Amino acid sequence: MAVSSSPWALIALFLMASSTVMAIPPRKAIDVPFGRNYVPTWAFDHQKQLNGGSELQLILDKYTGTGFQSKGSYLFGHFSMHIKLPAGDTAGVVTAFYLSSTNNEHDEIDFEFLGNRTGQPAILQTNVFTGGKGNREQRIYLWFDPSKAYHTYSILWNLYQIVFFVDNIPIRVFKNAKDLGVRFPFNQPMKLYSSLWNADDWATRGGLEKTNWANAPFIASYRGFHIDGCQASVEAKYCATQGRMWWDQNEFRDLDAEQYRRLKWVRMKWTIYNYCTDRTRFPVMPAECKRDRDV
C-alpha cells in the first residue's frame, strides 16, 4: 500500500507513535564563533566581536539598538545561546532571542528579557505565536542575576513539543495540540534573531518606567551561537530528515518526571504571570494549557 508523503500525513504518523522511553536533556550544545551561524542585520556599528568572534556585544544607546540573525532557516532542532544581560538600571531595555518565520501568519518562539530598575529583578517573558496568533505570554523572575555572568538559554523544537530551557532547566513547554484545534509550528521555516532595543513604551511596568539614558550604553554579551537544526529553503514545508534526527527520537517527545518537577518548581516559585491562569483575558482556559501541564 502506498503511503502519502504529504506533510499532514507525515505528522499524523509521527503523532500516533507512542513514547515509552525516558526523557533526557538535549544534547550538549557546541560553541562556535558568531560568523559560523549568524550575521549582523542592523546598526553594525553598535556591535563588537571579541576573542576572534567567539563573543559578541550588542550596544544600545539613545540613538539606536542593534541586532543579528541566523544565516539559515530551520524546521525543528535545538538552538542555544549563552547571554549576559545589560547591568544596572535597565528599565525599558529589552534583549530578545527568538525564532520567527516571515510571512503574515507567522510562527514565532520567543525569549524576551525585560529590564528593570536597579535592585529589581529582570523579567524573562516567553511567548509562542502560531499562524500569526500569540497572546501566550508567561513571565518569570530568574533565580540568579542574569547580568553577572553568562547563562544558557535554549529551545528544543520538534513535532511533539517546544521546550524553553534556562541552564538546562525547563521553564516552559508548549505541546502539539493540533487535535484540540490549536495550531503548532510545523511547516514554516524560521530564522533565529536577537536584538537589543528600547521598548520603554511597554517593557517595564507596562511602560510606566522609562529608559534612563544616563545609564547608556547598555551592553548585552553573547557566546555559544549553537544551532543544530534541519536547515530548509524558504519553500520547504516540512523537514526532509523528519524522524531521523536526535531531537525527533522518543526521549525528546516529552519531559520526564524530574524535568516536570523542575518545571513545577519554576511555575510555583518564580512565575509572576501565566496566560493559562488569566481569567480576565481568557474566561475559558486555552485548550493547550492542560496538555502543557502548566496549571
User: Which residues are identified as catalytic?
Assistant: 108, 112
> What is the CA angle 229-231-251, rounded to 5?
30
Who contacts 102 (Cβ-Cβ below 8 Å, separation ≥6)?
Answer: 191, 234
Torsion of CA 32, 161, 130, 193, to 10 degrees: -10
Torsion of CA 101, 102, 104, 107, to 10 degrees: 10
The sign of the torsion formed by the CA atoms of 120, 92, 223, 80 equals positive
Q: Which three cell numbers stand for residue 106?
A: 507567522
Question: How large is the greatest C-alpha to C-alpha distance in the chain, in angstroms?
Answer: 70
The DSSP line for 85-143 is PPPS--TTEEEEEEEE--SSS--EEEEEEEP--TTSPPEEEEEEEBTTB----EEEE-S
